[in-house]
Amino acid sequence: MQTSVITSTKNESIKLLKKLSQKKYRDQYNLYLVEGIKIINEALSNQEKIEYLIYDERYINNAIPANNKIQVTFDILKYISSLNHPQGIMAAIKQNTTTQDITDKGNKWIYLDNITDPSNAAAIVRSADCAGFYGVIFGGNGVDIYNDKFLRAAMGSNYHIELVRKDNSEKFIPYFKNKGFTIIGADVGGKEGLNIQNKNILLIIGNESLGISDKIKNLCDDLVKIPIYGCAESLNAACAATVLMYKINEYIK
């Protein structure tokens, strides 16, 4: 266990931790960074494994379990951090690589088709948490669930529900169909209102500007739109997802 204070950016552990700001290195080392005591405690409550705990003198007496504990100066913390004002404590956590059959875990899921804005994606995750959805699936080339902006905006909801990364939508959505799920897509060309007869639902929300891809539309059992009463063209993706999740809850108790 490290007991001396690290003051150099040349330290091997510090160099590794700095690399985690880039997705390719997060995937290479199977690690991601979170900042602040609140989200670290959320991770621990979810039995996440902390590989590195990095802290300055503000948290010198912490009792947080970690494979490696590293005390650093504020300057080193700021060097690693993506924040202008680091909170004094960070953690590098093992990525969740579960491969279990997710459809056996819950009957309400939401699929994000190429959602690219971390704040939008995080808002959808928080709404899914609030609405009692079991998990959110990130499809295509959308947001990385270990992106620092996404993690901050999710405010711990990423540890309350399942988050799954899937690249091949055309194969994955039929997998839900074969498990007895009804596939509902949010689309401006859809019909107003829902008529749900199934307790197993996969809701699909499309890209912020392009919507759901044509390939995925063809896989949907139903397309639905939210009526617009004002002059705006549409709701943003997170707002639309929230409205539809709560509407689905009117049918599925």
State residue 245's pLDDT score. 97
- Which residues have C-beta within 8 Å of that of residue 129, sequence separation ≥ 6? 157, 160, 161
For 195, phi then psi, to 5°, come to -140, 85
State residue 3's pLDDT score. 62
Question: What's the CA gap between 203 and 185, in Å, rounded?
Answer: 6
Write out the residue limits of the CATH 3.30.1330.30 domain(s) in the chain. 5-94
Write out the residue limits of the CATH 3.40.1280.10 domain(s) in the chain. 102-251
State residue 1's pLDDT score. 47
Question: What's the CA gap between 22 and 146, in Å, rounded?
Answer: 10
Count other C-beta atoms under 10 Å from residue 248's C-beta.
21
Instruction: Name the amino acid, one letter, at 156.
Output: G
State residue 16's pLDDT score. 98
Q: Copy the structure tokens of residue 53.
A: 């705990």
Question: What's the CA gap between 50 and 225, in Å, rounded?
Answer: 42
State residue 2's pLDDT score. 45
- What is this structure's pTM? 0.91
Q: Copy the structure tokens of residue 160.
A: 């309350």
Query: Concatenated DSSP letters for 31-76?
Result: EEEEESHHHHHHHHHTTPPEEEEEE-GGGTT-----SEEEEE-HHH
Could you write out the three-class secondary structure of 222-235? EEEECCCCCCCCCC
* CATH 3.30.479.10 given to domain 5-94: no
- Residue tagged 């590794």 (tokens): 16
Question: What's the CA gap between 241 and 235, in Å, rounded?
Answer: 9
- Which residues have C-beta within 8 Å of that of residue 236, sequence separation ≥ 6? 120, 208
- Which residues have C-beta within 8 Å of that of residue 230, sequence separation ≥ 6? none
State residue 100's pLDDT score. 53
User: If residue 13 lies in a helix (H) or strand (E), which one and from where to where?
Assistant: helix 12-19
SS3 call for 128:
helix
State residue 165's pLDDT score. 86
Nearest to 110 by CA among 253, 246, 250, 251: 246
Mean pLDDT per 10-residue section of the chain, whose length is 253 residues: 82 98 96 96 96 96 96 96 93 79 82 94 98 93 93 95 81 88 94 89 92 92 93 90 95 75
* CATH 3.40.1280.10 given to domain 102-251: yes
